[in-house]
C-alpha cells in the first residue's frame, strides 16, 4: 500500500504540477518523494532546502562499508595502515570479514583508494550517514 501511495503522489505531482506537502516522520517516504524538506522544531524554522544538502551540511563524514575476502588472514592489516589511513577514520563496526569506517568527507576518496590497494577487499560501499541520524541530530541540538 505504501508503494502505491508513493507512486500515486509522484504521478499526480508530475501530471498536474501541483505542490504536495507531506508531513511524515517516516524517512523512507521523505527520501522517495521529497526533493525539498522543511524542518520545524518548536515552531521555529530550522532548515528549508534539499534533503541531500542537509546531510552534507550536518554530517561532514562518509561511511565506508568494507567486506574482506573470507580467506583473508586474521591480521587483516587494518590496524597497520600508515598515517593517512585509519588514523583519519573511526572504526564503527567490525566483525569477521566486515568493517565499517566513519571518515571525513574530504578524506574518503584517498582512504578508499588506499584500502583497495592494501586490503583483500571484495566489496566496498561509500555512503552518506542514514538520514534518520542526521534528522535526529538536528532535533537533539535544536539547530542546523
Per-residue pLDDT tens digits for 22-58: 887 787 888 888 888 888 888 888 889 888 777 777 7
pTM beyond 0.85: no
Give yes or no: residues 47 and 95 share one domain: no
The H-or-E segment that residue 8 falls in is: helix 2-16
Which CATH number do you get for residue 113? 3.30.70.1150
Give yes or no: residues 50 and 69 share one domain: no
At 46 the pLDDT is 83
At 81 the pLDDT is 47
115 by Cβ neighbours in 10 Å (0-12 / 13-18 / 19+) ranks as buried
Number of domains composing the chain: 2
Q: What's the mean pLDDT in 14-22?
A: 88
Give yes or no: residues 123 and 66 share one domain: yes
Give yes or no: residues 93 and 71 share one domain: yes
E strands, 42-127, where?
A: 44-50, 61-68, 89-94, 98-104, 121-127
Report whether pLDDT(83) > 70.
no
Give yes or no: residues 81 and 123 share one domain: yes
At 130 the pLDDT is 81
Kindly state the cell numbers that stand for 133: 541520524
Give yes or no: residues 86 and 28 share one domain: no
Give yes or no: residues 39 and 72 share one domain: no
Give yes or no: residues 93 and 112 share one domain: yes
Identify which of 57-66, 109-118, 135-144 has the greatest average pLDDT.
109-118
pLDDT bracket for residue 82 (50, 70, 90): very low
Report whether pLDDT(78) > 50.
yes
Give yes or no: residues 77 and 116 share one domain: yes
Percent of the chain clearing pLDDT 70 (strictly above): 87
pLDDT, the chain, mean: 81
CA distances from residue 29 to 6, 10, 47, 92, 122 in whole angstroms, order as listed: 7, 11, 18, 27, 32
Give yes or no: residues 65 and 98 share one domain: yes
CA distances from residue 97 to 25, 77, 87, 100, 101 in whole angstroms, order as listed: 34, 12, 20, 10, 13
Residue of higher predicted confidence among 10 and 132: 10
Report whether pLDDT(115) > 70.
yes
What's the domain range around 35?
Answer: 2-56+132-141
Question: Alpha-carbon distance 126 to 139, whole Å?
Answer: 26
Residue 142: left (phi > 0), alpha (psi -120 to 50), or beta? left
Give yes or no: residues 65 and 46 share one domain: no
Amino acid at each position: 500500500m505504501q508503494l502505491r501511495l508513493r507512486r500515486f503522489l509522484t504521478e499526480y505531482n508530475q501530471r498536474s504540477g501541483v505542490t504536495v506537502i507531506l508531513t511524515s516522520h517516516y524517512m523512507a517516504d521523505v527520501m522517495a518523494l521529497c526533493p525539498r524538506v522543511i524542518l520545524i522544531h518548536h515552531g521555529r524554522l530550522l532548515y528549508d532546502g534539499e534533503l541531500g544538502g542537509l546531510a552534507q551540511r550536518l554530517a561532514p563524514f562518509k561511511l565506508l562499508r568494507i567486506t574482506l575476502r573470507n580467506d583473508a588472514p586474521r591480521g587483516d592489516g587494518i590496524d597497520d595502515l600508515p598515517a593517512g589511513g585509519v588514523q583519519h577514520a573511526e572504526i564503527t563496526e567490525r566483525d569477521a570479514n566486515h568493517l565499517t569506517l566513519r571518515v571525513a568527507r574530504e578524506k574518503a576518496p584517498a582512504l578508499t583508494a588506499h584500502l583497495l590497494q592494501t586490503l583483500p577487499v571484495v566489496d566496498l560501499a561509500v555512503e552518506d550517514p542514514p538520514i534518520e541520524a542526521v534528522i535526529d541530530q538536528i532535533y537533539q541540538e535544536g539547530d542546523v
